């Protein structure tokens, strides 16, 4: 079984030395807020008004016809209202280890994802936030930053990304283009079982690191999901939601239509 700890160690070795100091990564600091680890905040320097959340991959899961249930009605359910109880406080765990991964794709296009420190200089994020497996290309690390404790255009520190890494399994097979649609769907599902990546940044976390466990299956009843969903408060407020951990191997699929 793959061990995240080995991945972290290998990534640090592969990336080599850090040539950029943490001080060089900080920009536009002009105020402080005591509730975020007493550190200066980057203010009015992070504008995500034109940025958009990195789109989630669209996967076509195989459907067991015996499990499909037709829901009544012909309209999609209304969008749920924002639950402000799920709004995270970036000064406390677990969201004090979380931040915004920003990637400038071109002059007018910026995408963002969620990331979190799992080691002093290692940020865990989604694989599709650093690599485009459809084009087999990687985002340019020179255009990537990580804003720790991002909230309402502020954060406690801006880190430069030194390098990124993902599992070899997060890729399409070489003959993907010649596969049938069903085979491509199966290849997509297989690749996105490994849709996570790590980034080495140019300074240590100011707030510590998020605890993690690789062999968690069957050992935990719940987990907390954190992130910056683009359709909630414009993606500028970190969200957290605790829930039960379960295995969805045989859960009925509902077809809304």
How does strand 69-70 pair with strand 51-53? unpaired
Q: Along the 257 residues of the chain, how does pLDDT read in single tens digits? A: 345 555 555 555 456 444 333 333 333 323 333 344 444 444 444 555 555 566 656 555 554 444 434 444 444 444 445 455 557 788 888 899 999 999 988 777 888 899 999 999 999 999 999 999 988 899 999 999 999 999 888 899 999 999 999 999 999 999 999 999 999 999 998 898 899 999 999 999 999 999 888 777 778 888 888 998 887 887 888 888 888 877 665 455 444 44
The per-residue pLDDT for 48 is: 56
Question: What residues does each domain of the chain span?
Answer: 4-12+31-50+83-255
pTM over 0.95: no
Class of the 4-12+31-50+83-255 domain? mainly beta
What Å distances lie between residue 142 and 8, 25, 94, 146, 154, CA to CA?
21, 12, 28, 12, 21
Distance CA 234, CA 32 (A): 24
Residues 6+ apart with CB under 8 A from 61: 189, 253
The per-residue pLDDT for 203 is: 94
């Amino acid at each position: 079984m793959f061990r995240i700890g080995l991945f972290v160690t290998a990534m640090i070795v592969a990336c080599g030395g850090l040539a950029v100091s943490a001080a060089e990564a900080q920009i536009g600091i002009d105020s402080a807020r005591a509730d975020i680890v007493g550190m200066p905040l980057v203010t009015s320097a992070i504008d995500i008004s034109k940025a958009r959340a990195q789109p989630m991959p669209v996967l076509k899961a195989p459907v067991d016809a015996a499990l499909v249930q037709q829901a009544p009605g012909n309209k999609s359910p209304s969008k749920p209202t924002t639950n402000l109880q799920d709004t995270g406080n970036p000064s406390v765990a677990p969201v004090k280890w979380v931040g915004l991964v920003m990637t400038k794709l071109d002059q007018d296009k910026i995408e963002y994802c969620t990331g979190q420190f799992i080691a002093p200089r290692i940020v865990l994020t989604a694989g599709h936030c650093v690599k485009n497996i459809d084009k087999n290309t990687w985002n340019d690390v020179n255009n990537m930053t990580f804003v720790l404790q991002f909230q309402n255009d502020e954060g406690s520190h801006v880190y430069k990304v030194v390098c990124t890494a993902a599992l070899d399994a997060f890729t399409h097979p070489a003959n993907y283009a010649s596969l049938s649609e069903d085979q491509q769907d199966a290849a997509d599902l297989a690749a996105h079982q490994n849709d996570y990546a790590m980034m080495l940044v140019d300074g240590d976390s100011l707030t510590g690191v998020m605890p993690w466990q690789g062999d968690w299956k069957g050992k935990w009843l719940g987990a907390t999901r954190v992130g910056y969903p683009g359709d909630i408060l414009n993606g500028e407020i970190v969200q957290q939601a605790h829930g039960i951990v379960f295995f969805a191997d045989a859960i009925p699929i509902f077809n809304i239509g």
